Amino acid sequence: MTNKEKIIICRCEEVTYGQLQSTADEHKCTARELKLRTRAGMGFCGGRTCRFTLDKIIETVIPDTLPGELPLKYQPPIRPVTFGTVGENQ
């Protein structure tokens, strides 16, 4: 596995670039399928940190896809929280 493949794209779900690329190549996923198969974009941040990279991976796997045609729905948290709050012991 190369260094590029080890880069974590979705920090919330700990999904690497290699996992996303191999899943997209193997299954020829739509954006929604890639999200469901890897859980990228489904963590605490709602995809705000990894959305751009996910969209670019889909554009490379399905070359005719235009940026406006990526049907992913990203939802922000109900209320904003800090990382300190998320990591607190209860």
d(CA 18, CA 23): 8
pTM of the predicted protein model:
0.67
> How far out from the chain centre does Cα 63 lie?
18
- Show pLDDT as tens, one digit a residue, over the chain (90 residues): 688 889 998 898 999 989 988 998 898 877 778 888 999 888 888 787 888 887 787 777 777 766 555 555 555 556 667 777 777 665
Cβ-based neighbours of 43, under 8 Å, separated by 6 or more: 10, 11, 12, 13
DSSP letters, 25-77, are HHHT--HHHHHHHH-TT-STTTTTTTHHHHHHHHHHHSTT--GGG--------
